[in-house]
Structure 1
Amino acid sequence: MSRTAVAGTDQPVDDPPPPVPVPVPAPVPAPVPAFSGALEPDRAALATHSAETERLLAALPPRPLRTPPQQDAAGRLFGTARQTRRAFLALHTDAVYDELTERRTRYPRLRELIRAAAAYFPGLVPTTDQMAAENTLIQAEKDGREVDQAIFCAAVLRSATAGRHLIEAMLRPTPRALELLPGYRAEGRVELASVLVERRGRATHVTFRNAHCLNAEDNRLIADLETAVDLALLDDATAVGVLRGGEVDHPRYQGRRVFSAGINLKDLRNGDVSFVDFLLGRELGYINKMYRGLLTEPGADSWAERTVQKPWVGAVDSFAIGGGTQLLLVLDRVIAEEGAYFSLPAAEEGIVPGLANLRLSRLTGARAARQVILGGRRIGTDDPEFRLLCDEVVEAHGMAEAVERAVTELAAPAVAANRHMLGLVEEPLDLYRTYLAEFAVVQVARSYSEDVLAKVERRWQRSRDRS
């Protein structure tokens, strides 16, 4: 500390101590409103509570710059806001959904539904601008606003009325497929960014072409696959759909076909795996369309009259990991090359393997399903259980011939009707709906959990070091 002289004397004195900073009080969340049960006043109360929460959040730095106490404060704000949304939806889910769909006369897709919810019920879900800002960040730096989207989606799916209607909305053809359909019917070929769709005889062959990442799933591939599935189901000349991975660029598999490496973990780390378009959208979209059919006549009485359904064949080269294996669980015939393997590395990745928890035990039994999902067991062509997941194992050069045999058998007229009836027994619609409601919340929570963020960061760092 420096010393100075007192004016008019030679007596030195200490400088005054620096001012002690006054701690900024942590923002205190507004309490959860006491909702009345009437929609309009509760809508206003939700909007007011949300606006106050956002005002307090705006006073804090962005997540990467927050101190631990500031991050704790942000966590309390988000937590109370989420309690408020849950309380509101517990009273008004069906009324909200009816307003957004004009009493279920409209069939908005998931993204459109959420966008409408943000506009008509302020504070219920994040706005488009809030999501756009969050999507510029890597996963670890986000506040997890997708959790709020999941709360809304789960509430809708829990409702037998709204949930069934949303499922039907997501089973309708996409606008892009309808635009491409005339050309596909005429030419029998459409090239999408990550998928090739081509008709050969009575089959539409859908080939994954995400070559740079071992045909791993990302937002683009999910969108392209839904378009491809729509085209196959809408094309009158197609009786059977075939899924196969194309050749990849990876040095270890250079020039070889690979079925699928599952979710692109690099994209997950970078914050590029969307809850709406990927985590929930793929389950409600193209995978469910393959299993339950494409909804083309919403007003018809029976499900069989309302949908177009066709059998599907999977041709597995090299391996089917994660989402690749999940996909095989809804197919009618699976053919694998000698030496291929299936795995669901959920325990390692830290996330839920889609609907495998619902579907795998039907094929393998409960013990094997737990070994695969909880313990990360890999099942190869030499394992006895492989035949529970696969109908035929062939040498690599015999794959094309085996696929053609399967197409011929499955093109029989009664196959589509019987697969529909099997599906009614194996996975009733309400079982699927209630599973998805829980899955929506659990999966998005896992994608923001500390252990998952640490794992994907380590993998990303290792990949950078190798390059």
Structure 2
Amino acid sequence: MPTLAPGLDLRARAGEAHRVDDEIRALRTALVEAHAEEIYDGLTDGRTRYLRMDELVRAAAVAHPGLVPSEEQMAAEDSLPQADKVGREIDQGIFLRGILRAPKAGPHLLDAMLRPTARALELLPGFIETGVVEMEAVRLERRDGVAHLTLCRDDCLNAEDAQQVDDMETAVDLTLLDPSVRSGLLRGGVMSHPRYLGRRVFCAGINLKKLSSGAIPLVDFLLRRETGYIQKIFRGLLTDGAWHSRLTDKPWTAAVDSFAIGGGTQLLLVFDHVLAASDAYLSLPAAKEGIIPGVSNFRLSRIAGPRVARQVILGGRRLRADEPDARSIVDEVVPPEEMDAAIDRALARLDGEAVVANRRMLNLAEEPPEEFRRYIAEFALQQALRIYGADVIGKVDGFAVGAR
């Protein structure tokens, strides 16, 4: 019997394991695609209950063992660094892609993600009374009919993680639920980070240290972010409270100091008015990090044109706020010392009676809900595959030990 070269047997076994995984995942894909409506109706009592994505995958794990990972399997997976996980979230991505593709189940699931969170409903009476909510990642304050959302993770330059997503969705819900709030403003707070001490920073994008440690989940961060608070900013909050519209929506302004990296730039694409300091810059470092920059691939070509979109997303091009190509994203550029006055003027312009109705019609024309659903369904799986790519693991492990 010939002697195997060192490591060859292990490589062969690993290859066989991958082949088996692929076969099982192909079966799961076919099963969900063939029975998505039936599965979803069973989990939601014929679409009479709204389950958010995290609730849906947990319910599916109980009702259909083996179709998605169990809570115990996910708990074990969540305790590991990203490099040591076996990729069970890929199976969640397969399941959610199938559900989101289904003509009846998909829209219903996206509606579930537009409903107010339990946390926001609990905090609402206090916010209406005091006008202030302090959270770990976001400070919310109502002043003169404007909800001021301040990103306040000064330890990490407002890098995004699951806590930030939860706090942002809570703040957006409260903004939209409070009848005395007419519009929302998002701005970065003053930093204590040595590199930006005393300066405001908008957002440093995804927290790569958290991604490396395995603390950036597919469902509770990557998908919740896109289908939760960002869609609520763009589309509105589903309240079923009025005969003329199921959605409660309000105009939104964003103010960018220093930079908007990654998820920070993604956010700007859904705002009604974007201001930036003249020394700020924007970037979507997808090629650098190896992941998909949220829904930017869907929106940026329409907003900035296909060539600029490819340069920014595929080539990692950084846009200065004051250069011509950035003006498709940024409405107004002012010197840093004039930002406060410019914000006040912008908020006043968006305070007209017809603004809400017109932004609603613009958003409907620019991004039909069915087009968004088709994109986010594929994103659910493709992003799951990306966060387990060997190249991504290597890159984020390198980023995690140094500054961005």
TM over 0.5: yes
Q: Deviations over 1:290-323 (max 9, x none)?
A: 000000008x66xx61010001000100000100
Match of residue 222 from structure 1: 165
Q: Deviations over 1:22-71 (max 9, x none)?
A: 99xxxxxxxxxxxxxxxxxxxxxxxxxxxxxxxxxxxxxxxxxx943443
- Give the secondary structure class of the aligned counterpart of 1:227: helix
Match of residue 346 from structure 1: 286
Deviation of the 1:255 alpha carbon: 1.4
Deviation of the 1:211 alpha carbon: 1.1
Match of residue 29 from structure 2: 86
Opposite residue 316 of structure 1, the aligned amino acid is V
Opposite residue 216 of structure 1, the aligned amino acid is A
Q: In 2, distance between residues paired with 1:177 and 1:254?
A: 32
Match of residue 192 from structure 2: 249
Q: In 1, distance between residues paired with 2:12 and 2:400?
A: 29
Taking the TM superposition and a 5 Å limit, the aligned residue runs for 1:116-135 are 116-135=59-78
Select which of 330, 333, 344 maps to 1:390: 330
Deviation of the 1:72 alpha carbon: 2.6
Match of residue 39 from structure 1: none
Match of residue 304 from structure 2: 364
Deviation of the 1:171 alpha carbon: 0.1
Q: In 2, distance between residues paired with 1:460 and 1:69?
A: 32
Deviation of the 1:382 alpha carbon: 3.2
Q: In 2, distance between residues paired with 1:192 and 1:462?
A: 27
- The runs of 5 or more residues in structure 2 that have no matched partner are none
Opposite residue 270 of structure 1, the aligned amino acid is S
Opposite residue 293 of structure 1, the aligned amino acid is G
Taking the TM superposition and a 5 Å limit, the aligned residue runs for 1:27-426 are 67-297=10-240, 305-426=245-366
Contact preservation (8 Å) 2:279, 2:336 = no
Deviation of the 1:460 alpha carbon: 2.3
Opposite residue 429 of structure 1, the aligned amino acid is P
- Identity rate of aligned residues, in percent? 54
Of 72-81 and 220-229, more deviation after overlay is shown by: 72-81
Deviation of the 1:74 alpha carbon: 2.9
- The runs of 5 or more residues in structure 1 that have no matched partner are 1-19, 24-65
Contact preservation (8 Å) 1:311, 1:415 = yes
Match of residue 427 from structure 1: 367
Opposite residue 187 of structure 1, the aligned amino acid is T
Opposite residue 152 of structure 2, the aligned amino acid is R
Deviation of the 1:209 alpha carbon: 1.1
Opposite residue 436 of structure 1, the aligned amino acid is I
Deviation of the 1:243 alpha carbon: 0.4
Of 396-405 and 330-339, more deviation after overlay is shown by: 396-405
Q: In 1, distance between residues paired with 2:246 and 2:125?
A: 22
Opposite residue 322 of structure 2, the aligned amino acid is D
Opposite residue 168 of structure 2, the aligned amino acid is L
Q: Deviations over 1:375-426 (max 9, x none)?
A: 1111103311122111111222221221111111112111111111001110
- Give the secondary structure class of the aligned counterpart of 1:211: coil
Of 218-227 and 77-86, more deviation after overlay is shown by: 77-86
Contact preservation (8 Å) 2:90, 2:385 = yes
- Give the secondary structure class of the aligned counterpart of 2:245: helix
Contact preservation (8 Å) 1:297, 1:305 = yes
Opposite residue 334 of structure 2, the aligned amino acid is V
Of 314-323 and 356-365, more deviation after overlay is shown by: 356-365
Opposite residue 236 of structure 2, the aligned amino acid is G
Could you state the TM-score of these two structures normalised by the residue count of structure 1?
0.83
Q: In 2, distance between residues paired with 1:275 and 1:213?
A: 21
- Give the secondary structure class of the aligned counterpart of 1:296: strand
Deviation of the 1:462 alpha carbon: 4.1
Q: In 2, distance between residues paired with 1:162 and 1:381?
A: 41
Q: Deviations over 1:332-387 (max 9, x none)?
A: 00011121011111111111111111111222111111111111111103311122
The count of residues paired between Structure 1 and Structure 2 equals: 399
Q: In 1, distance between residues paired with 2:98 and 2:46?
A: 17
Q: CA RMSD in A?
A: 1.8
Deviation of the 1:248 alpha carbon: 2.0
Q: In 1, distance between residues paired with 2:318 and 2:279?
A: 12
C-alpha distance 364-174 of structure 1, shift in aligned 2 (>3 A)? same
Contact preservation (8 Å) 1:160, 1:430 = no
Opposite residue 37 of structure 2, the aligned amino acid is D
Could you state the TM-score of these two structures normalised by the residue count of structure 2?
0.96
Contact preservation (8 Å) 2:322, 2:333 = no
